[in-house]
Amino acid sequence: MRKKKCRIFDMDFTTSERGPCWDFVNYDTLQADERGLDPKVPWPDGLFAVTRGPWTPPPYLEPPRFIIDPRLGNPLRDAEVRDNFLFISGKFKRLIEEIAPNTCEFRACVTEHRNGEPGPEIWLCALVKAFRDSIDMAASKVTLNKMGGYMFSEEIYLCFKEKEMLDVHLFRIAENSSGFFCDEYFKSKCKEHGIKRILFKEIGELKLHAEEM
């Protein structure tokens, strides 16, 4: 039976050491008993559980709030990463909602410039669509850590086996909870809509049988 592969990419949002031009003013006070964005209990349903993993944001006391000041760092991009969450532009949010619906949770942020004028549209984006046991280990090149998670290296190559990924386009895998993954369709749409400065590295493939194409 004829097969075709769907290329899968790892998305890298890293920036320079200088970071973006914002002051995250309430980072330490978003949660009553925890600092930062991460949930206090990262795996409430068990290790590598996909229902509520570390991707789901906890209930914050208030929206993330930023002061924008060009002197603090680099100009804002369409996606900035912090604590394995993304802060994205309105343009990127609308693209995700259009081509990868039901994959992310969004929280509106409050922004203003240093002079008090309203700041740009920024959203906290939590990529919550995740798969577990989705890798054909016999066909992949990947090393496991002691807990069963995937250790990434230059040699890694993942062969995905979940047909459901065909219509998702953007997802995570439980065994590497900090990664952001997409297919070639999502990558091409980012280019088409002018979403810039995201590095896409081919990390694997989803092999399709003829009836799945």
In the chain, count of helices (H) and strands (E)? 2, 15
Q: Tens digits of per-residue pLDDT, 153-189?
A: 778 899 998 878 888 999 999 999 999 999 999 999 9
Q: What is the mean pLDDT of the chain?
A: 91
Higher confidence at residue 147 or residue 64? 64
How high is the pLDDT of residue 56? 93
Contacts 24+ apart (CB under 8 A), 60-64: 60/30, 60/31, 60/107, 61/29, 61/30, 61/31, 61/32, 62/26, 62/29, 62/30, 63/107, 63/108, 63/109, 63/110, 64/24, 64/26, 64/27, 64/30, 64/37, 64/107, 64/109, 64/110, 64/122, 64/124
Taking the model in full, what pTM does it have? Answer: 0.91
Q: Is the pLDDT of residue 35 over 70?
A: yes
User: What does the pLDDT average to over 98-104?
Assistant: 96
- DSSP 8-state secondary structure symbol assigned to residue 175: T
Q: Retrieve residue 33's tokens.
A: 């008993």
Instruction: State how far the Cα of 187 lies from the Cα of 10, in Å rounded to an integer.
Output: 10
Taking the CA atoms of residue 71, residue 74, residue 79 and residue 84 in that order, the dihedral angle to the nearest 10 degrees is: -80
